[in-house]
Amino acid sequence: MLATAGPPPSNALSEWTFEFKWDGCRAVGSAGVDGAVKLFSRNINDITASYPEVMQAVSASAAGRSFVVDGELVALNKSGQPDFGLLQRRMHVARPSAVLLRSVPVAYFVFDVLDVDGESVRHLPYSERRRILDDLALVDGTRVQVPPNMTGVEGSALMEIAAEHGIEGIVAKRADSLYRPGARSKMWVKTPIRNSRDGIVCGFVPTGGRAGGPLAALLLGAYDENGDLVYIGSVGTGFTDRIRHELRQRLTAIARADSPFSVAVPRSDSAGVTWVEPVAVAIVEYRQQSASGRLRHPSFTGIFRRYGHYAGPDVSRCALCALSLVTL
């Protein structure tokens, strides 16, 4: 069951429960009475062998009972915060080495239960499923955790707590919501934390690789502590059709033959790119910035300006600006 994106509910709070949103990889876990455990990705791929420490912990916690649970695979950094960049080192590794298991341990944060002892509980309201989940006593304090859910609280207050502790956001769930596998339901509402920053535009990719097509994505950079211009990711959402066409035309006017970055950009991101002079800035929102500096889930937020020049409402005040202010 999937949540719908939106602001946290602010009325009828007695009908909603809140959980923190963990920045990881969704996984359904099943345990048999023989202790055999399987983990499946959101796409129903068997990922059991990729997370042996989780499999062993769930098996030990099962204590001879059979069940199917839903949760999130999470890698915690040294500060105890979920770190998707760390988790990426484990994702798609079919059989992780002992060194990788020690350096990037993964925990399973369980937040729902679907079946118990061969009987489905998906038809029960969420509040009852949570009681059943608590009664399973799966928590081992390390590899298997059941994060708390909260009632009678304001979502805005929880968002502040999430931001303060480096948590991705919150999820609100109706206490009477049933579990509908694969469905995206308005009975669950997710609200991620969004950060904002500038990104220097260093190139663009046209739609479908067509030389004359509208803009599909901007390649963004930032100067590091050594003064080198480094790649921080690409942004391809948040644009209107008008903005895509207008930016495509204006960026073509400042195109250059070579990359302005100090270090080469991954080929997967730069295929079909047109490099431009690093003189324009895009303002983007994003969920998280990885340890390597890459932005996760960036979105263009409506301002595009000439780098180092006036970018107020009266663009005519800066005669050097070939790129005018664009507001969505």
Same domain, 9 and 76: yes
Say which CATH number the domain at 128 has.
Answer: 3.30.470.30
* Calpha distance 5→270 (Å, rounded): 30
Domain total for the chain?
2
Same domain, 158 and 201: no
Same domain, 224 and 136: no
* Calpha distance 125→133 (Å, rounded): 12
Same domain, 200 and 274: yes
pLDDT value for 322: 43
Owning domain of residue 237:
195-317
SS3 284: strand
Structure token pair of residue 149: 């859910």
CB 211, CB 255: distance < 8 Å: no
pLDDT in tens, 104-132: 999 999 999 999 999 999 999 999 999 99
Same domain, 171 and 66: yes
pLDDT value for 325: 40
CA 205 distance to own-chain centroid: 23
Same domain, 177 and 202: no
Same domain, 30 and 179: yes
Pairing between β-strand 184-192 and β-strand 150-151 as defined by DSSP bridges: unpaired
Q: Any idea which of 53-57, 83-87, 257-261 has the lowest mean pLDDT?
A: 83-87
Same domain, 248 and 131: no
What average pLDDT score do residues 272-278 get?
Answer: 91
Same domain, 145 and 170: yes
- Is residue 78 flagged as an active site residue? no
**Residue 59 class from Cβ within 10 Å (0-12 exposed, 13-18 middle, 19+ buried)?**
middle
Cβ contacts of 320 within 8 Å, gap of 6 or more: 306, 309
Q: Any idea which of 10-14, 165-169, 251-255, 275-279 has the lowest mean pLDDT?
A: 10-14
3-class secondary structure per residue, 101-138:
HHHCCCEEEEEEEEEECCEECCCCCHHHHHHHHHHHCC
* Calpha distance 205→248 (Å, rounded): 9
What average pLDDT score do residues 90-94 get?
Answer: 90
* Calpha distance 110→95 (Å, rounded): 23
Of 192, 221, 246, which residue is a domain's last? 192
CB 89, CB 79: distance < 8 Å: no
Same domain, 308 and 178: no
Same domain, 166 and 244: no
Of 143, 174, 192, which residue is a domain's last? 192
Of 174, 192, 210, which residue is a domain's last? 192
Q: Is 326 domain-assigned?
A: no
Catalytic residue among 21, 38, 78, 190: 21
Say which CATH number the domain at 243 has.
Answer: 2.40.50.140
pLDDT in tens, 277-304: 998 888 888 877 776 778 878 888 866 6
